[in-house]
Amino acid sequence: MKKIKLSLVAFTVLATSVFTGCDSVKNASNEQKGVAIGAAAGAVIGGILGNNLGKGGNTAAGAIIGGAVGGLAGGVIGNKMDKQAQQIEEALPGADVERVGEGIQLVLGENSVNFDTNKSTLTAKAKANLDKLIPVFTEYAETDIKIYGYTDSTGPADFNLKLSEQRAASVKSYLVGKGLKSSRFEIKGMGIADPIADNSTVEGRSKNRRVEFAITANETMIKQAEEEAK
């Protein structure tokens, strides 16, 4: 992971230096240059991440990278996602929010969204925290949201796979019930896949029981970004 991070920094610096040296953009405004530099660096970073993730749309980060637009439009989308990510962090401080490429990866662990044991029923605490996200999701209506459910490794893998999908479906159902459009959402159960902690410990298993969101631009936002980039 350290090698990947170092590569991202190096390529970002390279993309920035090459772009700022072009005669065709010397007269551009600072904002225009910033968007373009971000887009150029983002294209390079996206390629690196895409090669290293190797999982396509089967993970939140993979789905975001796989759907990247790139170019100046990608830079415009990235700016909008920056603002949304900040609002999510302010609305739900306990959430793990990360800007990935042109989207947002949101990880909600048991401290944010949890369920009844071996069930897909959202607890009152989970509903209260999802309520905090609804205003942000409503404001940024031009986004698609993929929801991934995960479990720990306790119990049969096939049971966990089904349970994780049911939990992702419960989150979607709750958000739709609060007025968000169903067409914005896609769900996927991941079961015991992609653990982020050690399943041999109580703490690790708790971290692995989570819900992840991949927030990306929908067709409307992409078209708007392309118009703004012209």
- DSSP letters, 201-221, are SHHHHHHHS-EEEEEEE-HHH
- As for how many domains the chain has, the answer is 2
Q: 131 and 35 in one domain?
A: no
pTM value surpassing 0.85:
no
Rg (CA), the chain: 19
Task: Provide the terminal-to-terminal Cα distance of the chain, rounded to the nearest Å.
Answer: 36
According to the model, what pLDDT value does residue 5 have?
35
Q: Point out the least confidently predicted range of 22-36, 139-153, 197-211.
A: 22-36
Q: Other CB atoms closer than 10 Å to residue 119's CB: what's the count?
A: 12
User: Which is more confident, 43 or 147?
Assistant: 147
Q: 40 and 26 in one domain?
A: yes
Q: 213 and 196 in one domain?
A: yes
Please report where in the chains the tokens 């700016």 appear, as a residue: 79
Q: 68 and 49 in one domain?
A: no
Q: 63 and 47 in one domain?
A: no
**Rounded mean pLDDT, 128-142:** 98
Q: Other CB atoms closer than 10 Å to residue 169's CB: what's the count?
A: 17
Q: What is the share, in percent, of the chain residues with pLDDT greater than 90?
A: 70
pLDDT at 89 over 70: yes
Per residue in 143-157, pLDDT (tens digit) is 999 999 999 999 999
Q: What's the CATH number where 169 sits?
A: 3.30.1330.60
Query: CA neighbours within 13 Å on the CB side: how many for 5?
Result: 2
According to the model, what pLDDT value does residue 154 have?
96
Q: 144 and 34 in one domain?
A: no
Q: 139 and 30 in one domain?
A: no
According to the model, what pLDDT value does residue 9 have?
39
- Quote the tokens at residue 63: 């789905």
pLDDT at 13 over 60: no
Q: 109 and 11 in one domain?
A: no
Q: 25 and 73 in one domain?
A: no
Angle at the Cα of 108 (from 107 to 113), degrees rounded to 5? 165
According to the model, what pLDDT value does residue 27 have?
53
pLDDT at 228 over 70: yes
Angle at the Cα of 207 (from 111 to 81), degrees rounded to 5? 70
**Rounded mean pLDDT, 39-53:** 45
Q: Point out the least confidently predicted range of 5-9, 42-46, 81-85.
A: 5-9
Please report where in the chains the tokens 């096939």 appear, as a residue: 158
The phi, psi pair for 12, rounded to 5°, reads -65, -45
Q: Give the confidence band of 57 by pLDDT, cuts at 50, 70, 90.
A: low
* Structural domain range at position 77: 57-229
**Rounded mean pLDDT, 214-220:** 97
Residue 161: burial class (beta carbons within 10 Å; 0-12, 13-18, 19+):
middle
Q: 48 and 70 in one domain?
A: no
Residue 144: its H or E element = strand 143-150
Q: 179 and 67 in one domain?
A: yes
Q: 167 and 150 in one domain?
A: yes
Question: In the 8-state DSSP scheme, what is residue 18?
Answer: H
The phi, psi pair for 115, rounded to 5°, reads -135, 165
- Quote the tokens at residue 74: 């990608």
pLDDT at 50 over 50: no
According to the model, what pLDDT value does residue 94 have?
81
Q: Give the confidence band of 197 by pLDDT, cuts at 50, 70, 90.
A: very high
pLDDT at 133 over 80: yes
Domain boundary among 53, 73, 89: 53
Domain boundary among 29, 53, 77: 53
According to the model, what pLDDT value does residue 186 have?
98
Domain boundary among 9, 33, 53: 53
According to the model, what pLDDT value does residue 230 have?
84
* Mean pLDDT taken over the chain: 83
